[in-house]
A and B are shown apart, each in its own frame.
Chain A
Amino acid sequence: MATTVEQLPSPDQERPIGFGRLRRKEDARFIRGKGTYLDDIRLPGMLHGAILRSPFAHAKINSIDTSKALALEGVAAVVTAKDLETLGLAWMPTISYDTQAVLAGDKVRFQGQEVAFVIATDEYIARDALPLIEVDYEPLPVVVDARKALDPDAPLIRDDKPGQVDNLATPTWEAGDEEATERAFAEADVVVTRDIMYPRCHPSPMETCGMIADFNPKTGQLDLYNGNQAPHVHRTVYAHVAGLPEHMIRIMCNDIGGGFGNKVPVYPGYVCTIAASIVAGAPVKWIEDRSEHLTSTGFARDYIMHSSIAAKDGRITGLQVDVIADHGAWDSTAQPTKFPAGFFHICCGSYTLDAAHVKVKAVYTNKAAGGVAYRCSFRITEAVYLVERMVEALALEMGVDPIELRMRSFIGPEQFPYETTTGWTYDSGNYAETMKVAMEIAGYEELRREQAEKKARGELMGIGISFFTEGVGAGPRKHMDILGMSMNDGADLRLHPSGKAVVSISAQTQGQGHETTFAQIVAEELGIPPEDIEVRHGDTDKSPYGLGTYGSRSTPVSGAAVSLVSRKVRDKARLIAATMLETRPEDLAWEKGRWYVKGDPEQGATIEDIALRAYSGEELPAGMEGGLDAQIVYDPPNLTYPYGAYICVVDIDPETAQVTVRRFIAVDDCGVRINPMIVDGQIHGGLAEGIGIALMELISFDSEGNCLNSSFMDYLIPTAMECPEFELGMTVTPCPHHPLGAKGVGESPNVGSPPAIVNAVIDALRQGYPDVTHIDMPCTPDRVWATMQGRPEPPQ
């Protein structure tokens, strides 16, 4: 379809049939408090689970005595690793082909690890029972610092794995051309080297993780209520782990209170809940509290990066990166199988480098496992942060304006499709144009003047830039799978005789507005009003197989599937219309919602008429089955490559070192925008998360492995007070291979904003402290102050 910018409706257009600003269909239940989140579901006879967790980061378990807990009135059972062993469920695979303990049997490997699972008649009693379980721990030395995990004297964490002799989680993974990169550096005019850390943070959606398992011993049917981001894959995992027949498992996600990558993995609590329901023969509900969520479920990032960047003749020419990835006690990072460091090798960014080389080494530590993509496509956030910090450092060293250096080094619009030195094929873009739009909104020259005036008065104002290119919409089946499952998505469209439609998709909303956006896609393709289209998702019995929603893949993959399945229906409708109009299909032309006879536009059939005909007793084209349905599985030919130019303005209190984000300008190019209101909303949300990560969100540990940020008292998420009024702009470069020209967007603002903020902080500090060249996140007041004192140390 030739969607061009000119054809797009304005963002203010109301009630479009197709693309444009459309208020969300799903709002109706949410604004009335009628959503159905996990804890809202109560089944008859339901029992409640609670998990006893390890207070130690590393300790041998000598014994577990559950007798006192079992004696408490209302306690139905206490499950330990021993019980699970008899069911073959003591260990389970991670999504990265490692194993993890469901309940700790031999020893605990991080603070917060699952040790026992109590089942009781209510949640209060289940929690009363936890302190009654007596566990004899024998503390062992801990490894907290990933840099020391491979020291010869480091205690071995994964002694459960045959042949494991050290704490190396995955063999060193490389991308790019090492020799060519060495050459580029040898020939460079300028080389800058930095140690850059992307600290551990946590997606922490507002609804924590949990499950209700309802096993029916009579039929063998297992119903699972569980808000996750990939229900079909979860079902496959349960089938494999528990040896249950996949067709007898049904997962219902219902409404999900946010995911942000955290709800991609299968967690031990889920397996415990399933086992408990099978053992108890009753439905069992388990929902973690916030501390459990922060200390045991998938964290994000934790990349320790050593990098050098080179320039020659005023242009960026080479990049070299060495990464230590802290995976915690298990390798359960969420990435496609063939990419152990995710898409980190997209760290060449938006520039025409001569060469780049990337090395990533992953280690085990006595910390919770994760490495999930916190609103990010598989380590792209780390990659973008690295390259945008390095480019800034290079500009500083060269004495060039940071925008000027980027402009000189951008991939030109004529170079697309562009093959990067680390093996990506960027589909489309006009980077300089987008950068200019951002400069215009920001009033860049004026900001620099203001900054100079303020400097003269002793004030610290900073302007930070970032320009990102992302690869989202994983992915082509020839390159990408998760646990062997191709990263494709299905769509199933049924038009009813009245012309109303149900479209079932394999992507699963956690707030992204699928019920509206995907209805708009069908509306655009078939000309049916969006309110007449019901979007079904999140129930494995009612939706086609697919890999789910994360890494901004819904619109690129599932959106394409919905577009193409609609076109399949439209094509069938054309044949039926030809019969109805007694003409040949090739003599018909399409306008939104109607096939008509070329040259005689009065003669036509609406999609509603055609739908009725398809189910009626009247004549259909020869050999055609009745009905107006279609099904598809979409295999994307490539990722989509959204990009954006971000400018951040900060002020720092010179005395207290507090950072205030005064302005944030975000110009995103995500191709064609299906619902601009939802796109803008996604950008707002990601920017707020970026502010959180850059300024306050941190999961840290003391030397004993105690988590220091285990509640919302200490894991700080921005409130309305820390977020400015965001200033958004856009350019639209349609994706050439996506049927709608759309690219993903959800994660872009989270990916793009941290480097802009940190670059702004450094720029501000340099107004008063010209020796400052670096600070690691989060830029909390104490860490900014330490940087002023010449001590820019990474967080613990």
Chain B
Amino acid sequence: MQTPAPCDYERATSVEGALAALVEHGPSARLIAGGHSLLPMMKLRLATPEHLIDINDLDELAYIDRQGDEIRIGAMTRHVDLLRSELLAEHFPLFADAEEVIADPVVRNRGTIGGSLCQADPGEDLSAVCSAIKAEVVIRGGEGERVVSMDDFHVGPYVTAVAADEMLTEVRVKVRPGAGSAHEKVERRAGDFAIAASSAAVWITGGTVADVGVALAAAGPFTIDVARVGELMRGKAPSEELFEGAGEVAAEDCMPMADTRGPVDYKRHLVGVLTKRALRRATERALEQEA
């Protein structure tokens, strides 16, 4: 079978230790968490880090907690825990929607939210999820912590705001009233990356849309935050017509590329359908909460 190129290995016992190791070994060092993106790339020798820093022992980064009006998710939280979290199910059910269709249960035992976000694969679901719910991420380095929006976090395809000597430690989401969210994905087969996926979150107060977020996976060279949906929907009463319109906007604003999963026109079409469906379901959930 395919095998990785030679590398060194150390196991971090603290975030500070991991950061120090990153500094010590420079850009040829990589953090390894679940390993389900990095190791296959190492086996293909598309990634050849010289030094691996294993952060799987950093239990301090594995949590899903509520602190005040925020839900905080540690970077080492595994997919399986996102899937099963009651706290997330209550406030952001789109996590469970997405996790049910991310890879397979065995992979979900290992993969982490931090790893998924930092891989910044445009086809990856959690980046869209976090963008739609307007999450922020905490990045820690030698100098301390900084908090950045998902928009600032995604710098480009496979590139994030996390510098070579930094690590992502936490995802934060504000809990606001009237929230509903959903994630819709079409894949070629169970466990596959999306042909296209759409994450939607709405916040409804007094029967009108106070805020909305829509983000797309596998619909362009990076995760696409469809800002125009906000302009369209804010202040209006949710309706099938509005969802349809939002779908059209998303289909216009996405930038899909043709590949083995399908041609551009089909992906655009899917983005429209999935955005409409995600918004419809998110709204139903928001209204259920309200009722």
Interface: B188 (CB within 8 A): yes
Minimum CB–CB distance from B99 to chain A (whole Å) comes to 15
Alpha-carbon distance between A283 and B81 when the two chains are bound, in angstroms: 48
Of B56-64, B65-73, B266-274, the segment with at least 4 beta carbons within 8 Å of chain A is B266-274
- Residue in B45, B191, B260 with the greatest tally of chain A CB atoms within 10 Å: B260
Chain B, Cβ-Cβ closest to A292: B2
Whether A781 and B195, one on each chain, are in contact in the complex, defined by CB atoms closer than 8 angstroms, is: yes
CB atoms of A696 and B270 under 8 A apart: no
Chain A residues 638 to 669 lying within 8 A of chain B, measured CB to CB, are 655-658
A656 x B186 contact (CB < 8 A) = yes
Which residues of chain A from 112 to 153 have any CB-CB distance to chain B below 8 Å in the complex?
Answer: 123-124, 127-128, 131
**For the complex, what is the distance from the CA of A287 to the CA of B1, rounded to whole Å?**
7
A696 to B191, CA, bound (A): 13
CA distance A123 to B267 in the complex (A): 41
Contacts of A127 in B (CB 8 A): 2-3
**Bound form: Cα–Cα A696–B2 in Å:** 25
- Binary interface profile of B, 270-281, with partner A (CB < 8 Å = 1, else 0)? 100110010000
> Could you mark each residue 713-728 of chain A with 1 if its beta carbon is under 8 Å from any beta carbon of chain B, else 0?
1101011011000000
Query: In residues 178-194 of chain B, which contact A (Cβ within 8 Å)?
Result: 186, 188-193
**Given the complex of chains A and B, what is the CA–CA distance between A696 and B193 in angstroms?**
14
- Which A residue's beta carbon lies closest to that of B186? A656
Cβ-based interface call for B174 (8 A): no
Min distance, Cβ A758 to any Cβ of chain B, angstroms: 17
Cβ-defined contact, B2 with A782, below 8 A: no
Residues B3 and A123 in contact, CB atoms below 8 Å apart: yes
Q: Which of A289, A719, A780 contacts B190 (CB 8 A)?
A: A719
Interface residue A773 (Cβ < 8 Å from any Cβ of B): no
B2 touches A289 (CB 8 A): yes
- Give B193 Cβ to nearest chain A Cβ, in Å: 8
A409 at the interface (CB under 8 A from B): no
What class of interface size applies to chain A in its complex with B?
Answer: 20 to 34
Known: A289-B2, A708-B260. A780 touches B188 (CB 8 A): yes
Contact B273 A656 (CB under 8 A): yes
Residues of B near A655 (CB, < 8 A) are: 273, 277
Q: How far is the CA of A786 from the CA of B263 in the complex (A)?
A: 9
**Are A719 and B191 in contact, CB atoms less than 8 angstroms apart?**
yes
Q: Are B186 and A700 in contact (CB under 8 A)?
A: no
The answer to whether A782 and B263 touch across the interface, beta carbons within 8 angstroms, is: yes
What 1/0 mask marks residues of chain B from 32 to 57 whose CB sits below 8 Å from any chain A CB? Answer: 00000000000001000000000000
- For the complex, is B6 an interface residue (Cβ under 8 Å from A)? yes
| Smallest CB separation, B42 vs chain A (Å) | 12
The answer to whether A781 and B189 touch across the interface, beta carbons within 8 angstroms, is no
The answer to whether A709 touches B260 (Cβ under 8 A) is yes
Chain A neighbourhood of B191, CB < 8 A: 719
Q: Which residue of A lies closest to B6 (CB)?
A: A128
Report the separation of the CA atoms of residues A291 and B45 in the bound assembly, to the nearest whole angstrom.
13
Hey, which chain B residues are within 8 Å of A290, CB to CB?
A: 1
> Given the known A-B contacts A655-B273, A719-B191, are A781 and B266 also in contact in the complex, defined by CB atoms under 8 Å?
yes
Q: How far is the CB of A707 from chain B (nearest CB, A)?
A: 11
- Find out whether the CB atom of A782 lies under 8 angstroms from the CB atom of B1: no
What distance in Å separates the Cβ of B6 from its nearest Cβ neighbour in chain A? 7
Considering the complex, give the chain B residue whose CB is closest to the CB of A709: B260
Residues in B with CB closer than 8 Å to A708 are: 260
Query: Which residue of the partner chain B has the closest CB to A716?
Result: B189
Q: Which residues of B contact A780 (CB under 8 A)?
A: 188, 262
Say yes or no for B110: interface residue by CB 8 A criterion.
Answer: no
How many Å lie between the Cα of A714 and that of B195 in the bound state? 12
Which residues of chain B from 155 to 196 have a CB within 8 Å of any chain A CB?
186, 188-193, 195
Q: How far is the CA of A145 from the CA of B197 in the complex (A)?
A: 33
Interface string of B4-32 (1 = CB under 8 A from A): 01100000000000000000000000000
* Interface residue? A110 (CB, 8 A): no
Cβ contact within 8 Å between A289 and B1: yes
The answer to the question of B234 belonging to the interface, with a C-beta cut-off of 8 Å to chain A, is no
**CB distance B260 to A700 under 8 Å?**
yes
Chain B proximity of A563: nearest CB distance (Å): 42
Across the interface, do B269 and A785 meet the contact criterion of CB distance under 8 Å?
yes
On whether the beta carbons of A124 and B3 are closer than 8 Å, the reply is: yes
Return the chain B residue nearest A692 by Cβ.
Answer: B189
Contact of B189 among A128, A718, A785, A786 (CB under 8 A): A718
A788 to chain B, nearest CB (A): 10
With a CB–CB cut-off of 8 A, which chain A residues contact B45?
131
Q: CB-CB < 8 A to A782: which residues of B?
A: 195, 261-263, 266-267
Contact between chains at A714 and B260 (CB < 8 Å): yes
Chain A residues lying within 8 Å of B267, measured Cβ to Cβ, are 782
Instruction: Give Cα A193–Cα B34 distance, bound, in whole angstroms.
Output: 54
Contacts of A656 in B (CB 8 A): 186, 270, 273-274
Question: Top 9 A-B pairs ranked by shortest CB distance?
Answer: A782-B262, A721-B190, A782-B266, A655-B273, A716-B189, A124-B3, A719-B190, A785-B266, A656-B186
Binding site for A on B (CB under 8 A): 1-3, 5-6, 45, 104, 186, 188-193, 195, 260-263, 265-267, 269-270, 273-274, 277
11 A–B contacts from the bound complex (CB under 8 Å): A128-B6, A131-B45, A289-B1, A655-B277, A656-B186, A657-B266, A708-B260, A719-B191, A721-B190, A785-B269, A789-B265
Given A128-B5, A781-B266, A782-B261; 16 other pairs, CB 8 A cutoff: A124-B3, A131-B45, A287-B1, A656-B270, A658-B186, A696-B188, A709-B260, A713-B192, A716-B192, A719-B190, A721-B190, A781-B188, A782-B195, A782-B262, A785-B262, A785-B266
